[in-house]
Structure 1
Amino acid sequence: MKVLVVHAHPVETSYNRALFNAVCETLRAKGDEVDALNLYEEDFQATMSRAERLEYHDVPGNLTPIIKPYVDRLRAADKIVFVHPVWNYGYPAILKGFFDRIFLPGVAFVLEGGDAPDKGKLIPGMKNIRKVAYVTTYGGDRFRTMIMGDPPRRLAMRWAWATFGTLMPPTYLALYDMNNQTEAGLKGFIDKVKRKMAGF
């Protein structure tokens, strides 16, 4: 199996980077081919340009020379894992930009039966992806995050499940209140992630 692992944290010494490394190492150890996509190291540009927005529904013209290599990596994968922190109860901007710029019409979905390129019934387009997982950390504790509605979890379990169209919902591994965790707690979460990835 080929697994695309998408990482979104700018600091190479961070705990989140340790999670990314643990995911990649565990998947490789079980025999998966890993495509490690570190968005910051690749200097991925999060903002959609004016031209990209104007060409958004122009299939396949929306696959510009900048966008197409990322789409190719997405299409080559059988499984996908996102490793990222939660900031301000949302995705880091660079990861949100990845979704906005790469998950295009003709790639992530197609619109059928409409009388214009931006109308019609939405059909999931990434049927190559069999499994999806999120590995994430929160500064807020679980109670405070629940009061806020936990948007990242809801997006993963609703938007991502619908977008990828997998048989089972995404695996969601979250460490809440990470800044107040003990060393044992931090290590325990990495061990949990390794166990889950060994069976992913």
Structure 2
Amino acid sequence: MRVLIVVAHPLDDSFAKAALSRVRAVLERRKDEVDVIDLYRDGFDPRLTAAERRAYFAQPYQPGADVTGYVERLRAAEKLVLIFPQWWFAMPAIMKGFFDRVFAPGVAFEHDRAGGRLIPKLDHIGALWVVSSTGSPWWVARLWMGDPVRKLLKRGIMNFVARGASFRMMTLHDMDRMTDDKAKAFLARLEAAFARF
């Protein structure tokens, strides 16, 4: 199984990188082929260029040359894992830019010429799992804010590009008051979950 992991955190000693290490180790023990994109380490530019935007509805759409390698890695993946913190109840800008530039027409979807509708193209992706963290308690993220990142990923992105993919999101809440025991317990839950991925 080819698994693409996309991680977004600028610090190598972050919880996101600890989660990446644990998830990768589990998948490699399962003998999955693991490909990791570290957006910060790569210096990924999240800005959609003027040329990319002008060509967005062109047939065929040509993504920027600097994202061609990412497109090929996405096309080769059978499962997708995203790992990132939530800042201000959203994914980091670099991760959003990954969607803007790599999940492009002809790659993740096609425009329906009859009007408006998107035709999914990532039907080879069987699963999208998300590992995230937030400084807020669970009730603030879910009840007060309505779990916006989960909604964006499940309803707003995967529904339009990989409708048949299974979805799971595991979020460690209350990071601002995290203890070692809670962090270790969450990493153990990740390990158990990804053993069945």
2:176 matched residue in structure 1 = 179
Contact 1:160 1:170 in 2 (8 A): no
The Cα of 1:164 is off from its aligned counterpart by 3.8
Deviations 1:87-144 (A, max 9, x none): 0000100000000111111111112233xxxx44311111110111000001001111
Contact 1:130 1:166 in 2 (8 A): no
1:100 matched residue in structure 2 = 100
How many angstroms apart in 1 are the aligned matches of 2:59 and 2:191? 39
Alignment of 1:129-168 (within 5 A): 129-145=125-141, 146-167=143-164
- Partner of 1:90: helix, strand, or coil? coil
Deviations 1:19-46 (A, max 9, x none): 1111111111111000000000000001
Give aligned-pair identity as a percent: 36
The Cα of 1:2 is off from its aligned counterpart by 0.4
**What is the TM-score of this pair, normalised by structure 1?**
0.93
How many angstroms apart in 1 are the aligned matches of 2:158 and 2:189? 22
Q: Which amino acid aligns with 2:93?
A: A
> Unpaired segments of 5 or more residues in structure 2?
none
Deviations 1:162-195 (A, max 9, x none): 0343435411101110121221100000111111
Shift of the 168–65 alpha-carbon distance from structure 1 to 2, 3 Å rule, reads closer
Alignment of 1:40-55 (within 5 A): 40-55=40-55
- Partner of 2:184: helix, strand, or coil? helix
Alignment of 1:33-44 (within 5 A): 33-44=33-44
The Cα of 1:59 is off from its aligned counterpart by 3.5
> Unpaired segments of 5 or more residues in structure 1?
none
Q: Which amino acid aligns with 2:85?
A: P
1:196 matched residue in structure 2 = 193
Shift of the 105–195 alpha-carbon distance from structure 1 to 2, 3 Å rule, reads same
Aligned residues: 196
2:9 matched residue in structure 1 = 9
